[in-house]
């Protein structure tokens, strides 16, 4: 009995080998990572584990119940012979990983094969193989390979049930009893241990791969975090040098270089002092990558620095793409081709895509900034030449009759124009600066309207430090002047209020002008309007920039009725509310 146990344990080496090979198959990974298998995966698993059971049968030892002798390998059996085998292991693993269908299918294949070998236990062992699949399927769990103890118990139970079936069905009974006494305990222990060992190997191999994948993902994310700040500036020699240094440190290469479509922008590592001249072959490989947009491995012989003839080793040349077009290359140099593993290739391919995506993000960010500048310029374009001409005419008329007031208007105009120019260079300003801009504008308008316009202010000084986008308040005030009170002959009033409430700073611009219909109110600030008196682009841009910076809570609120004036307000949430 002890000799049999030792021999069966020795042959578990076959199980170890098969378990390792299994982890290379895609369908087997499906068994591990998916709760349910599609029909094709189930067929593959049934056939594979069925043949695994057949191997377990052939790797067993035949036992003669008359001579009580073991034959080292199982073959065709005489009527008084049976097999001490590890067939149950493949069936148990099939059921544990694939469920009832896979377990029963594998058991059916292995059981039918066992039946064809003959022997007085042929029917009992064939039936026991199917029962083993049912038992293993009963113990299938979502966390399929977590418990080695569970695998040992299921393997031992399946083998114990086989011994019971042999005692019940195999004839003559005395031979069945002798067989179970000789092989029962060794087979129960060996097959239980084999099932646990099989899952242990799978668990370790899969865990190592998952760990390697996690480390690879962590490294990729770290590289992405470090390179993003530089690639926001696009590809240039400075940003390329910084990125190459990061990649050289993280990927642990012999050297790293980056090119655009015509020249090498940066090279870090071996040969960094004399890197620019390349061999003709290397140059051709780079051109091929730029043309095809595909990753290429260059051998040791083609990569060297022509000036110093220093060997750079083998290289992986990856394309840098932007919107599907190859705009440059990344070159990763290794000491030899042996260092270019599958993991390294996957990492480089991923980094090539990652850096290309970062360049696209940088371009999108640049486009966004240009769009914001265009919005500001669109607001500046609202300054009508007629406004400037009228202002200059007013100043000219005042030079002789009221030179002091003329000087004041020139100062106001200067301040007004300066604020408009400054708005192109800043992305945010304070309410205090905006209010100065508005006061300069209204000082000019008050001089033009000559006693017809009265402006009042209700300003809380503590609210003036709040930050807002430039050219936010002035277009609202200008809208009140140009469209609200322009047709009034007298008693024109504009009231500007800025004060704090518990959660926000509220800005209100109110006039007593002609007002507008509710339909026009519903359109203003939300879309541009096709109208003879204006397009509404100024209020639309103001509203859009407020909501982009502070959210919908900061959008323009417009109240107006025909003949009753217009009130436009917005709220800037306090920092903790944004």
- Quick: pLDDT tens for 292-313: 777 777 765 444 443 344 455 6
pLDDT band, residue 367 (cuts 50/70/90): low
pLDDT at 139: 81
Tokens of 441: 């504008």
Which residues are 151's β-sheet partners?
Answer: none
Residues 202 and 244 in one domain: no
Q: Which of 213-227, 433-447, 544-558 has the lowest mean pLDDT?
A: 213-227
Contact (CB, 8 A) for 113 and 57: yes
Domain count, the chain: 3
Q: Is 472 in contact with 556 (CB distance < 8 Å)?
A: no
Average pLDDT of the chain, as a whole number: 79
163 plus 277 within the same structural domain:
no
Tokens of 45: 């698993």
CA of 566: how far to CAs of 37, 108, 246, 275, 518, in Å?
67, 86, 58, 69, 11
Please answer whether residues 188 and 160 qualify as being in contact, where contact means their C-beta atoms are separated by less than 8 angstroms.
yes
Please check the confidence at residue 425 and state whether its pLDDT lies above 70: no
Average pLDDT over residues 462-478: 89
Asked which of 361, 389, 407 is the last residue of a domain, the reply is 361
- Report pLDDT for 306: 39
**CA atoms of 72 and 58, how far apart (whole Å):** 10
Rg (CA), the chain: 41
Mean pLDDT in residue range 181-198: 88
The answer to whether residue 217 is domain-embedded is no
Q: Per-residue pLDDT for 526 more than 60?
A: yes
Which two three-digit tokens encode residue 176? Answer: 């069945």
Q: Which residues contact 215 (CB under 8 A, 6 or more apart)?
A: none
CA proximity to 201, closest of 32, 36, 55: 32
Q: Report if residue 220 sits inside a domain.
A: no
The pLDDT > 70 percentage for the chain reads 79
Q: In the structure, what pLDDT confidence band is assigned to residue 209 with cuts at 50, 70 and 90?
A: low
Residue 371 included in any domain:
no
Mean pLDDT, rounded, for 351-358:
82
* 386 and 245 fall within a common domain: no
Say if residue 162 is in the same domain as residue 242: no
Q: Please state, in angstroms and rounded to a whole number, the distance separating the CA atoms of residues 16 and 261.
A: 52
Check if the beta carbon of residue 346 is closer than 8 Å to that of residue 287. Answer: no
**CATH number for 135:** 1.10.1760
| Residue appearing with tokens 């930050």 | 467
- Are 398 and 323 part of one and the same domain? no
Are 125 and 175 in the same domain?
A: yes
CB-CB contact of 337 with 316 (8 Å): no
pTM value > 0.85: no
Backbone angles phi, psi at 290, to 5 degrees: -60, -35
pLDDT tens digits, 132-150 = 999 988 887 644 445 788 8
Could you write out the DSSP letters of every residue in 532-550? SS---HHHHHHHHHHHHHH
- The residue-averaged pLDDT of 493-518 equals 91
Of 295, 328, 361, which marks where a domain is finished? 361
Q: Mean pLDDT: which of 163-167, 467-471, 479-483, 518-522 is highest?
A: 163-167
**pLDDT, tens digit, 9 for 90 and up, residues 247-256:** 888 888 888 8
How confident is the model at residue 276, as a pLDDT?
A: 46
- The residue-averaged pLDDT of 114-122 equals 89
d(CA 523, CA 167): 90
Q: Containing domain of residue 518, as a range?
A: 381-577
**Strand order across the 557-560 sheet:** 453-459, 492-501, 504-511, 566-573, 557-560
* Domain finish residue from 333, 361, 389: 361
Q: Tokens standing for 437?
A: 């801009």
Q: In which band, very low, low, confident or very high, does the pLDDT at 499 lie, cut at 50, 70 and 90?
A: very high
417 part of a folded domain: yes
Instruction: Determine the Cα–Cα distance for residues 448 and 131; give it in Å rounded to an integer.
Output: 102
Please say if the pLDDT value at position 159 is more than 80.
yes
Which position has the higher pLDDT, 128 or 367?
Answer: 128
* Res 200 pLDDT > 50: yes
* The dihedral sign for the CA sequence 147, 153, 156, 158: negative
**Cα 433 to Cα 373, 439, 469, 472, distances in angstroms:** 19, 10, 11, 11
CA distance readout (Å), 167 to 57, 163, 251, 473: 20, 6, 63, 96
Same domain, 353 and 454: no
The answer as to whether 124 is a domain residue is yes
The side-by-side arrangement of strands in the sheet containing 69-71 is 69-71, 61-64, 81-84
């Amino acid at each position: 009995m002890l000799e049999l146990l030792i021999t069966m344990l020795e042959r578990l080496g076959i199980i170890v080998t098969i378990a390792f090979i299994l982890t290379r198959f895609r369908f087997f990974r499906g068994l591990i990572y998916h709760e349910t298998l599609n029909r094709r995966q189930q067929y593959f698993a049934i056939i594979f584990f069925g043949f695994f059971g057949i191997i377990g049968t052939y790797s067993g030892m035949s036992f003669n119940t008359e001579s009580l002798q073991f034959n080292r390998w199982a073959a065709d059996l005489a009527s008084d012979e049976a097999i001490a085998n590890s067939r149950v292991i493949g069936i148990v693993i099939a059921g544990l990983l694939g469920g009832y269908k896979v377990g029963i299918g594998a058991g059916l294949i292995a059981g039918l094969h066992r039946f064809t070998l003959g022997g007085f236990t042929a029917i009992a062992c064939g039936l026991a193989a199917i029962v083993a699949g049912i038992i293993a399927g009963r113990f299938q769990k979502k966390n399929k390979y977590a418990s080695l103890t569970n695998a040992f118990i299921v393997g031992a139970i399946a083998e114990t049930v086989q011994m019971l079936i042999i005692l019940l069905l195999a004839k003559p009974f005395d031979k069945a009893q002798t067989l179970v006494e000789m092989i029962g305990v060794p087979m129960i222990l060996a097959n239980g241990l084999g099932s646990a060992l099989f899952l242990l190997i799978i668990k370790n191999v899969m865990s190592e791969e998952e760990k390697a994948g996690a480390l690879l993902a962590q490294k990729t994310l770290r590289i992405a975090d470090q390179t993003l700040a530089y690639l926001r500036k696009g590809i240039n020699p400075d940003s390329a040098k910084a990125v190459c240094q990061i990649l050289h440190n993280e990927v642990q290469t012999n050297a790293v270089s980056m090119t655009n479509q015509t020249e090498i922008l940066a090279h870090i590592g071996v040969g960094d002092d004399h890197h620019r001249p390349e061999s003709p072959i290397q140059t051709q490989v780079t051109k091929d990558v730029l043309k095809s947009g595909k990753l290429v491995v260059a051998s040791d012989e083609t990569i060297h620095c022509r000036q110093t003839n220093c060997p750079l080793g083998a290289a992986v040349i990856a394309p840098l793409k932007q919107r599907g077009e190859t705009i440059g290359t990344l070159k990763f140099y290794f000491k030899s081709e042996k260092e270019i593993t599958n993991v390294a290739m996957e990492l480089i391919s991923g980094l090539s895509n990652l850096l290309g995506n970062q360049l696209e993000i940088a371009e999108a960010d640049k486009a966004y900034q240009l769009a914001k500048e265009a919005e500001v310029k669109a607001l500046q374009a609202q300054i009508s030449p007629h406004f400037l001409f009228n202002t200059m005419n007013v100043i000219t008329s005042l030079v002789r009759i009221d030179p002091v007031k003329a000087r004041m208007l020139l100062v106001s105009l200067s301040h007004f124009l300066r604020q408009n120019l400054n708005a192109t260079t800043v992305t945010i300003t304070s309410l205090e600066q905006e209010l100065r801009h508005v006061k300069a504008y209204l000082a000019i308008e008050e001089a033009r309207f000559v006693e017809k316009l009265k402006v009042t202010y209700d300003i809380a000084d503590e609210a003036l430090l709040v930050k807002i986008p430039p050219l936010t308040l002035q277009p609202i005030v200008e809208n009140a002047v140009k469209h609200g009170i322009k047709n009034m002959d007298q008693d024109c009033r504009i009231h500007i209020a800025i004060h704090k409430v518990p959660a926000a700073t509220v800005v209100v611009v109110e006039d007593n002008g002609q007002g507008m219909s509710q339909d026009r109110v519903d359109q203003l600030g939300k879309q541009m309007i096709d109208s003879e008196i204006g397009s509404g682009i100024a209020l639309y841009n103001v509203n859009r920039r407020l909501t982009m910076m502070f959210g919908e809570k900061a959008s323009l609120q417009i109240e107006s009725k025909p003949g009753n004036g217009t009130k436009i307000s917005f709220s800037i949430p306090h920092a903790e509310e944004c």
